[in-house]
A and B are shown apart, each in its own frame.
Chain A
Amino acid sequence: MKDHYELVILGGGPAGLSAGLYAARARLDHVLIEKGAPGGQVLLTDWVDNYPGFPEGLTGFDLVEKMTEHAKRFDLNIELASVTRVEPNDGAPTTLHLEGGGQVSCDTLILCNGASANTLNIPGEMELRGKGVSYCGTCDAPFYRNMHVAVIGGGNTAIQEAEYLTKFASKVSVIHRREELRATKIIQEIAFANPKIEFIWNNTVTSIEGEKEVEHLNLLARDGTTSTLAVQGVFILIGVTPNNDGLPLQLLQADKWGFIPINKESQTALPGIMAAGDICSKEVRQIINAAGEGAVAVLAAERFLQNLKKSKFLHS
């Protein structure tokens, strides 16, 4: 890795890979920094059926591979590193501090850090993580062959994962705090038609119990009644929290959940810093708008760099 780049893209999910594609094609002096293999949350998605251009649908894996391959065709530069702190310098290049020491500076930065699964923060959740408590149906479903499992949540991820789990589990109980789902209608229709899926409405889970592995859940209904549900696994799919560790949240004017607001050009409150994808403060978190924001962010970065060159020229 060099000491300085015109553009640094932080994170290699769909937002970062799209930004990478546009940056590489614009021949910007760039690097995409990713702490593991590219992909982000798409790697947790068993099947993507709503990304245009793939009429048969495809796995999250395949979509990521295609996006990576596409950007690499134009010489996208990817480095394996972890950024611990982003330090804006009031107009001067932004400094990125790396894990294990070292730093990189950049004229423009695109934050594509993404988001991670929310935890419920209830008793038993941490203790039984990996022992029946999971945040990824696609990853762990095969361990629950012919078992009864629960899914907590009512959004797209929860209902799509519940459907996927029925390929392995004997029964899937979806526990939702409301009496209707937020998931896209077609996803709901498929789930309602699946005889292996049972819905437990208007209930929240208050604790997860088990000696060595998950044995049962304690539920609390909206009307105050409590009950117990015996399951061998529980999948917690209740939305996401932004990966914003080390970001200057106050200067970025992050919302109360820590997501970063952007304008139509993907610019944040800080000049030269753009954001794209699930880390942004927004209503809809889909692959398609993440990719769109990534592309728009690079165009904003290009304009910023052009203005920077002009002002340097005028002052030289």
Chain B
Amino acid sequence: MASEKVQQLTDAEFDAVIKSEQPTLVDFWAPWCGPCKAIGPVIEDLAVEYDGKVTIAKMNVDDNPATPGKFGIRAIPTLILFKNGQVVDQITGSVGKAQLVALIDKAN
């Protein structure tokens, strides 16, 4: 069940979204990745909690190869926090909600 609050990003939209005023957390994932599936519900939870404050987005690396290549992503899930178009920090692996909240809070 995909939440409407989680934005599905494509290569084409990527730059515009991460350059927007609101910080953006991008979850790079793929349908065949188990840990990506495991953290799915947490991402949806965060999207509701941070609605209007932080954009929570997902990018399917199968459909969008350019952006993951640009950021040297070699493992998924990788979650990257962007602010004003710049990388603030990133985490790889299916981490818990507390660690994701700590990552998002680095935008402040």
**Which chain A residues have a beta carbon within 8 Å of chain B's beta carbons?**
35-37, 39, 42-45, 60-61, 80, 82, 99-100, 129-136, 138-140, 142-144, 212-213, 233
Contact = CB atoms under 8 A, between A and B. Distances in A.
Nearest to B90: A130
Contacts, number: 83
A36 B34 contact: no
A36 B74 contact: no
A129 B94 contact: no
The interface residues of chain B, by DSSP majority, are classed as mixed
Interface string B70-108: 001111101000000000001011101110000000000
Given A36-B42, A136-B35, 9 more contacts: A36-B39, A45-B34, A129-B75, A134-B75, A138-B33, A142-B32, A143-B73, A143-B75, A233-B74
B53 interface: no
Interface of B: 30, 32-42, 45, 62, 72-76, 78, 90, 92-94, 96-98
A140 B94 contact: no
B68 to A, nearest CB: 8
Contacts of A44: 34-35
Contact of A36 (B40, B78, B98): B40
A99 B93 CA distance: 19
Given A36-B41, A37-B38, A139-B33, A130 B98 contact: no
Contacts of A42: 34
Contacts of A213: 72, 74
